[in-house]
Amino acid sequence: MTHLNKKQRLEKNHNHFDDLHDDLIISILRKLASSASSPSDFLTVLSTCKRLNRLGLQPLVLSKAGTQTLAVTAEKWSDSSHKFLKLCVNAGNIDASYALGMIRFYCLQNPVSGASLMAKAAIKSHAPALYSLSVIQFNGSGGSKTDKNLRAGVTLCARSAYLGHVDALRELGHRLQDGYGVPRDVSEGRRLLIQAYARELACSLRSYLSLKYGDEILTDLSVVPVQEIHPVYRFLKEWFSSGRVDLSEGLRMCSHGGCGRPETRAHEFRRCSVCVGFGEPRIRLHIGVDGEAVAVEIDDNHVND
Q: Give pLDDT tens digits for 109-135.
A: 899 999 999 999 999 999 999 999 999
Q: What is the pLDDT of residue 55?
A: 94
- Give me the count of residues in the chain: 305
Which residue, 1, 61, 73, is CA-closest to 31?
61
Burial state string for 127-154 with b = 16 or more CB within 10 A and e = fewer than 16 = bbbbbbbbbbbbbbbbeeeeebbeeebb
Q: What is the pLDDT of residue 13?
A: 64
Q: What is the pLDDT of residue 270?
A: 59
Which residue, 7, 55, 1, is CA-closest to 28?
55
Domains and their CATH numbers in the chain? 19-69 (no CATH), 70-299 (1.25.40.10)
64: which DSSP letter? T
> How much helix, strand and coil, in percent to the nearest 5, is found in the chain?
60, 5, 35
Which residue, 271, 274, 268, is CA-closest to 256?
274
The per-residue DSSP string of 255-283 comes to: SSTTT-PBPSSTTTTTT-TTT--TT--EE
Burial of 12 (0-12, 13-18, 19+ CB in 10 A): exposed
- Residue numbers in the chain where pLDDT is lower than 70: 1-14, 16, 204, 206-228, 270-305
